[in-house]
Chain A
Amino acid sequence: MLADGNPAELFEAKGEELWKSKRGPKAATLEQCNLGKGPGVVKGAFVELPRWFADTAKVQDLESRLLTCMENFQGFDAKAIANTPFGKGEQANMSALVAWISAESKGMRFNLPQAHAQEQKNYELGKRAFYYRGGSHDFSCASCHGESDKRIRMQDLPNLTGNPGDGVGFAAWPAYRLSNGQLWGMQQRLNDCFRQQRFPYPGFASDVTIALGVFMGVNAKGAESVAPALKR
């Protein structure tokens, strides 16, 4: 019942409007943006990201792909957006877009492509990043997310080395966080993990965050997406 009142819906409505409205220096919409299933196709795109894109010759997740589209179609400066703090300026619009696009794939099952060599390479890279210990507390992602039935305070931690199941872990982000009333995308979620590891922040849409996304996304194969979810 809690999910009935998920305020992420407010962000979804804003995101849909942003997708269809003419914005940026070129005054264009994002409706021709190719999220991997052809120009303008939104439904089902989210459960197949991150994936390889031929035009940029990169593996991209939803947020980095949106940066590319906002630059190509609308004339925004992708670097400037990537350097904007979360929740400010265009980043606030980014989280709304992410909410809407992920909601369009709600209930579908994750099926990340692994056919391209770069996608396989990203998976291996993400795996290494996931198990890499460092920082002042000698943490890796696996320190918290490497075993089942671990908790921090009252929060169950999903075991991301395998498939945590439907609507948990990778399949539950982006999400609305009740504690601070913000909508977080995967990039911001990973940023918070790096913070708790006492690592320097990764850049927005940087290679390591996308590689981690590929690792978790491939592991989550077959899990049902509930994004945008509701989190404490």
Chain B
Amino acid sequence: MADPMRIRAQSAGDKATIRVLMSHEMETGQRKDGAGKIIPAWHIQEVVAALNGKTVMTAQWGPSVAKNPFLQFNVRGAKAGDKVTISWTDNKGDKRTDEATVS
């Protein structure tokens, strides 16, 4: 199981700003190790954001995203007290889901 994400969700006016820090190696599959062998690709493939259980954003990610990625986006119509759920799946099938409340 991967390390937890850090999620901050803050409402301002009619929208909320969601900021997510994910803990992931994000290996591109193009680097070589000390022995000259290619380090296999290992990166997040899909990110899904949901507001109160309803999907509001999906993203397809590839190897070009940096290690320990930071994601920020706005959700229109999100109020304080709403639940934001972020989940990701990586190319090895590993998953992680975390939840935060909009403040």
Identify the A interface with B (CB < 8 A).
Answer: 4-7, 9-10, 13-14, 178, 181
Contacts and interface: CB of A to CB of B under 8 A. Distances in A.
Contacts of A5: 19, 21, 70, 72
A109 to B, nearest CB: 26
B60 to A, nearest CB: 20
Contact of B6 (A9, A178, A181): A9
B3 A10 contact: yes
A44 to B, nearest CB: 24
A145 B21 CA distance: 33
Contacts of A7: 21, 23, 67-68, 70
Interface string B11-45: 00000000101010000000000000000000000
A10 B21 contact: yes
Nearest to A14: B3
B66 A10 contact: no
Contact of A4 (B3, B19, B67, B68): B19
Contacts of A9: 6, 21
B89 to A, nearest CB: 19
B67 A181 contact: yes
Contacts of B21: 5-7, 9-10
A214 to B, nearest CB: 32
Contacts of B23: 7, 10
A13 B66 contact: no
12 contacts: A4-B19, A5-B19, A5-B70, A5-B72, A7-B67, A10-B6, A10-B23, A13-B3, A13-B4, A14-B3, A178-B66, A181-B67
Nearest to B70: A5
B78 to A, nearest CB: 18
Given A4-B19, A5-B19, A13 B6 contact: yes
A9 B4 CA distance: 11
A231 to B, nearest CB: 14
CB-CB nearest 4 A-B residue pairs: A5-B70, A181-B67, A7-B68, A10-B23
A119 to B, nearest CB: 37
Given A6-B21, A7-B67, A9-B6, 12 more contacts: A4-B70, A4-B72, A5-B19, A5-B21, A7-B68, A9-B21, A10-B6, A10-B21, A10-B23, A13-B6, A181-B66, A181-B67
Interface string B59-89: 0000000111010100000000000000000
